[in-house]
Amino acid sequence: MSPERKYFRARERYGDWAENATDEEELPKQRKKAIRLFEDTEPAEDADFRGKKRENTEGNPKNGKISKSPNTEKSEAVAYAMRLAATDALTEKRLKDKLESRGYSTDEISEAAEYLRRFGYLNDARLAQNSLEKLASRCWGKYKICRYLAAKGIDSEIIEGLDFSEIDFPYHCARLMRKYTPERRDAMLRAVKNAGYTSSDLRMARQIIEEED
């Protein structure tokens, strides 16, 4: 099998891993393995992703300088985006900010984002849904979680479509309330409000605490 064919087969096969993963600890490992395979199998002369080395036509080819092909910058943007995806869960906004800070153009950023999206490494809806339990465990209510996700650049339509049905907000609210003594009731109520819990969460949390006491 040619290097080019091997490369694209690897992309097609291992790009599905992130989509199929269900364990949060498993997903980063799959990203790392996929990026290693991506790098190991990429053909050195694949002009679409790396750009071929060539002599500098504006200077003496013997001076050791080599000019970049027109596709080199795009290749670098994709490669950098893949390295980011291999080590971190990315939102589209975070990826854009990272690439912009490196000086990549709008077209290069769009190309890199589309590449990661195509192979399952960039999916704001999945990332937001998978983060709900972890954020709720910080004693955050629904409203605070939504504000946090919006600040991270998650689209409002995605936030509105999130499924909170598996999150036990009254339980986490009760955890927060237990941190305060009865003498600090006002402080407790402020903390509950700032954490984004609803009046219903507060009422049910009180019932939980009463039943346990």
Domain ranges (residues) in the chain: 3-125, 137-212
| Digit-coded pLDDT (tens) for 59-97 | 333 333 333 333 444 478 999 999 998 888 899 999 999
Mean residue pLDDT of the chain comes to 77
Expressed in angstroms, the distance from the first to the final Cα of the chain is 69
What's the pLDDT band for 17 if we cut at 50, 70, 90?
very low
- What is the Cα–Cα distance from 70 to 63, expressed in whole angstroms? 21
DSSP string, 134-187: HHHTTT--HHHHHHHHHHTT--HHHHHT---TT--HHHHHHHHHTTS-GGGHHH
Give the count of beta carbons closer than 10 Å to the beta carbon of residue 115.
Answer: 21
